Amino acid sequence: MLFNTINFAIFLPIVFLLYWFGTNKNLKFQNALLLVASYFFYACWDWRFMFLLMFSTLLDYFTGLKMQDADNQKRKKFWFWLSIIVNLGFLGVFKYYNFFAESFTEAVSRIGWQVSPLMIKVILPVGISFYTFHGLSYVIDIYKDRIKAERSFVDYAVFVSFFPLLVAGPIERATHLLPQIKKEKTFDYAKAVDGLRQILWGLFKKIVIADNCAELANQIFNNSVDYSGSTLVLGAIFFTFQIYGDFSGYSDIALGTARLFGIELLRNFAFPYFSRDIAEFWRRWHISLSSWFKDYLYIPLGGSKGGNWMRIRNTFIIFIVSGFWHGANWTFIAWGFLNALFIMPSIIMQTNRNNLEIVAKEKFLPTFKELLQMTITFGLAVFAWIFFRAENIGHALQYVSGIFKHPGSFLLLGIYWKYKTIITLISIFMLIEWFGREQQYAIASLGLKWKKPLRYAMYYAIIIAIFYFATGKEQQFIYFQF
């Protein structure tokens, strides 16, 4: 079930009304309802993979209790590694087995060996990377004595499968989400309205920005040999806004939806395209994944304690693993490697925490230096996204070489006229994002002090834009494939 469909528009109000008015505000009934609704939401994709989700949930719930009740460290370690190996094993088989098999076949064929490995002909279970990481963080935190094992299966299952975050995050932590699930709630009208505003903005990002950029980005990337370098640059920029509108739009809808049920999810985006260096970009892009890798991989590897060599090594590991997490393709690994290279100067010079506050805070415009820094950082991000979007490494290299081999004409008037609608939409979108950059999301406070007719006119304008600029095609969210 997609957030941007009529099915979800029917599903959400029904669950909302039952949650607040059909359960007598009984916490156990509310959580049971959320669990049933979440499983139904997931089953709408492919009911067969429900069993994988339920098995993963049962495994981590059971091993969590076993670790909690273990009478010695050896037994605790046994249950811990059982959960880790099985979880990563399922993820490896479904997501990476074919990739490794094909890579091995290609490698040995170069030395004259011919092998035909058994390939798995099954689609990737939607959301497997996300709910697997939910479970992994839970069992790791229990093993490290950061939390106690959850005794209520329903509460734990809601933590893993809460439908707003189930298929594309944010990647939650038990320390943050479980206490909210276990806490009795009262309906907060102001929070519900704020949630609806964030949902509205998320739909605008997805339908108006991402889906329209996708059509042009796909056209240019899929026929890249036919276009001039200037058009290829524009194609990469379109994809840059496509993936941002798509993924941050999903996150906005997820956070807004959760707020309707009195739950605050982790923030996943903080205006990353206004970053002044790559380190800041990664503090603002897919925040829940970046912080997950920091806490569960970077710090256990030694973090930054061992000097420059350890910082460099650990940074490359984090970014390459992050790239591999996104998918079984060398393009994702190349994308991660590029981002590691881009962040290296700030790691070596230890300037990676220079830009912690949002750019031009409490100011109308950035300084020239900040504008230059943002432009360079944005350019590096666009270049890396080429590898993320390309079909394979060869396609990525051909695309990049095409930019320089056939630079073409970059007359601003001509470029604008050809793509005037989407460029205008992106410009308006980024203007709203700029003026709302100090908020949790761009329109969080926009219009709150206006008179009601004017404020509602803004809402209606966004709704009209969503329907008017809808492509008419059902577009899945990019991160569903991860």
- Between 225 and 121, whose confidence is greater? 225
Half-sphere CA count of 351, side-chain side, radius 13 A:
9
Model's pTM, two decimal places?
0.92
Q: Return the HEC string of the chain.
A: CCCCCHHHHHHHHHHHHHHHHCCCCCHHHHHHHHHHHHHHHHHCCCHHHHHHHHHHHHHHHHHHHHHHHCCCHHHHHHHHHHHHHHHHHHHHHHHHHHHHHHHHHHHHHCCCCCCCCCCCCCCCCCCHHHHHHHHHHHHHHHHCCCCCCCCCHHHHHHHHHCCCCCCCCCCCCHHHHHHHHCCCCCCCHHHHHHHHHHHHHHHHHHHHHHHHHHHHHHHHHHCHHHCCHHHHHHHHHHHHHHHHHHHHHHHHHHHHHHHHCCCCCCCCCCCHHHCCCHHHHHHHCCHHHHHHHHHHHHCCCCCCCCCHHHHHHHHHHHHHHHHHHHCCCHHHHHHHHHHHHHHHHHHHCCCCCCCCCCCCCCCCCCCHHHHHHHHHHHHHHHHHHHHHHCCCHHHHHHHHHHHHHCCCCCCHHHHHHHCHHHHHHHHHHHHHHHHCCCCCCCCCCCCCCCCHHHHHHHHHHHHHHHHHCCCCCCCCCHHHHC
- pLDDT value at residue 115: 61
- Write the CA distances from 267 to 131, 253, 264, 283, 412, integer angstroms: 17, 12, 9, 11, 36
What local confidence, expressed as pLDDT, does residue 285 receive?
A: 96
Confidence of residue 109 (pLDDT cuts 50, 70, 90): low
Q: What is the mean pLDDT of the segment spanning 175-186? A: 94
**Predicted confidence (pLDDT) at residue 114 exceeds the cutoff of 70:** no
Range of lowest pLDDT (1-15, 309-323, 385-399, 408-422): 408-422
* Token pair for 50: 């429900």
Q: Contact at 8 Å (CB) between 309 and 385? A: no
Cα distance between residue 228 and residue 462, in whole Å = 34
pLDDT of residue 448: 87
Higher pLDDT: 92 or 106? It is 92
Q: How confident is the model at residue 472 (pLDDT cuts 50, 70, 90)?
A: confident
Q: Which of 118-132, 199-213, 290-304, 405-419 has the lowest mean pLDDT?
A: 405-419
Q: Which of 270, 421, 263, 438 is nearest to 361 (CA)?
A: 438
Q: Single out the catalytic residue among 134, 176, 286, 326.
A: 326
Per residue in 296-309, pLDDT (tens digit) is 999 898 877 777 88
What confidence score (pLDDT) does residue 481 get? Answer: 66
pLDDT at 45: 82
Share of the chain above pLDDT 90, in %: 70
In this model, does residue 379 exceed pLDDT 90?
A: yes
Q: Is pLDDT of 391 > 80?
A: yes
Nearest to 475 by CA among 156, 190, 209: 209
pLDDT in tens, 329-378: 899 999 999 999 999 999 988 898 899 899 999 999 999 999 999 999 99
Active site residue 176: no
**What pLDDT was estimated at residue 80?**
95
**Is the pLDDT higher at 396 or at 407?**
396
Q: Please state, rounded to an integer, the average pLDDT across all residues of the chain.
A: 90
Note the pLDDT of residue 100. Answer: 67
| Alpha carbons 203 and 249: distance in angstroms, whole number | 6
CA dist., res. 174 & res. 53, Å (int): 17
* pLDDT bucket at 419, cuts 50 / 70 / 90: confident
- Residue 282: name the closest of 204, 366, 338 by CA: 338
